[in-house]
Structure 1
Amino acid sequence: MFSPLYNHISKFVDLSDDERETLGSLLKSFSFKKKAFLLEHGEICRANYFVVKGCLRLYFIDIKGAEQTTQFAIENWWISDLTSFMFQKPSAFFIQAAEATEVIAIDHRHHDEIFNKIPKLERYFRLILQKTHQASQMRIKFLYSQTAEERYFHFNKLFPGFVQRVPQYMLASYLGFTPEFLSKIRAKKVL
């Protein structure tokens, strides 16, 4: 049941059968329909989610009332409002299923227990967080140093299948422009 996560972990650290069994006893799996919320603004984020199948997004509502997507998570990616999760404070974000999604969740109450029982997982999560932080830094750099068209074509080159998976308004929000502008970029590409 948790083999996708075990396979992902094995790319970074090796777990014994006993460690896998211990980890499995502290995990839960969930399925969410498209547009379902895993977290809403003002709630406390109670879990860190590993996507087995599907797509989740993390977003907030800006001062103009527009949704601003800050992160996507597809297969083998983690997603959480880390600040809310770690400090158990109300979230300023939403986590929503962009498509029907299956996840494996680590509940906050088991977070430290997992590290105490399986110290190797601290290394795993450190490596994952380093990759996530690096990707976040590059996204911010691209927002400030590339034109909207350059951002779209760069993202499309890196994740060609992903561009077709998510609704246009979510992708536009993530890339920092309006859905109408994204339509114009796509129309130019076709011409």
Structure 2
Amino acid sequence: MPAAFIDHVRKFVPLNDAEASILLEFVEVATVKKKELLVKEGRVCTGNYFVLKGCLRSYFLNEAKAEQITQFAIENWWLSDYMSYETGKPASFSIQAIEPTEVLIVRRDMQDEMFQKLPQMERYFRIIIQKAYAASQMRIRYIYGMTGKERYLHFSNLFPEFIQRIPQYMLASYLGFSAEFLSKIRAGKY
């Protein structure tokens, strides 16, 4: 499976076979069970997770102690609590497997050495983070600028693979409304 990761990196930066071998020295592969936590809110996040197979979610507990999902990650996507990862402070988000998942992990204590030995990886992560930040900005715009039904239709058109993989209540949380409201949208009652 790490071959899929190397292929992904090569879409963004040059990486010869010797460099690919060096890169694989800085990552580890882990299997995560469905519902298993990789990061727990309040504990330090020490890993940046690349999904080789499966699906992850990032969430926090709001003032009503309800889960508020902020991100999903499927194959070839990264997920972390970046503030915690970079500062070493407690995580503001939990990261959990939605289905059995295989991840590749870049540990924080290995990242700088990886960047020293493979400078192109800093460029790779800059590109990936910029894309993720742009997606976050657009998500904020959609939350404030679209109705709930428009957000659902937009999301289902952009990411049809998620509709089948993610439980309805999680999708509703991510889109910012109740599971009941989502049921009405899907049934054509709204």
Q: TM-score per shorter chain, which class?
A: over 0.9
Structure-1 residue corresponding to 2:49: 49
1:106-134, Cα deviation, whole Å (9 max, x unpaired)? 01110111111100011110000010000
- How far does residue 48 in structure 1 lie from its aligned partner after superposition? 0.2
Task: Letter of the 1:171 partner, please give it.
Answer: L
Q: Distance in 1 between matches of 2:10 and 2:17?
A: 12
Alignment length, in residue pairs?
190
The gaps in structure 1 that reach 5 residues or longer are none
Q: Secondary structure at the match of 2:69?
A: strand
- Measured in 1, the distance between the counterparts of 2:138 and 2:26 equals 33
Counterpart CA distance in 2 for 1:102 and 1:49 is 10
Deviation at 1:22, TM superposition (A): 1.0
Query: 2:135 is matched by which residue type in structure 1?
Result: A
Aligned to 1:155: 155
Q: 2:102 maps to which residue?
A: 102
Partner of residue 168, structure 2? 168
Matches within 5 A, 1:10-21: 10-21=10-21
Displacement of 1:168 = 0.8
What RMSD over aligned residues (CA atoms) do the two structures have, in Å? 1.1
- Give 1:139 deviation, angstroms: 0.3
Query: Could you list the runs of 4 or more consecutive aligned residues of structure 1 that deviate by over 3 angstroms after TM superposition?
Result: none
**Residue of structure 1 equivalent to 2:78:** 78
- Structure 1 partner of 2:182: 182
CA shift for structure 1 position 161: 1.7
Task: Note the 1:87-166 alignment, pairs <5 A.
Answer: 87-166=87-166
TM-score by length of 1: 0.97
Deviation at 1:4, TM superposition (A): 1.1
Give the distance between the partners of 1:126 and 1:161, measured in 2 at CA: 26
The residue that corresponds to 2:3 in the other structure is 3
- Structure 2 runs not aligned, ≥5 long: none
Look up the match of 2:30. Answer: 30
Q: Deviations over 1:144-191 (max 9, x none)?
A: 0000000000000001121110111110010000111111111117x9
CA distance in 2, matches of 1:55, 1:107: 20
Deviation at 1:2, TM superposition (A): 1.2
Which SS does the other structure have where 1:42 is aligned? coil
Report the alpha carbon displacement of residue 19 of structure 1 after superposing the two structures with TM.
Answer: 1.1
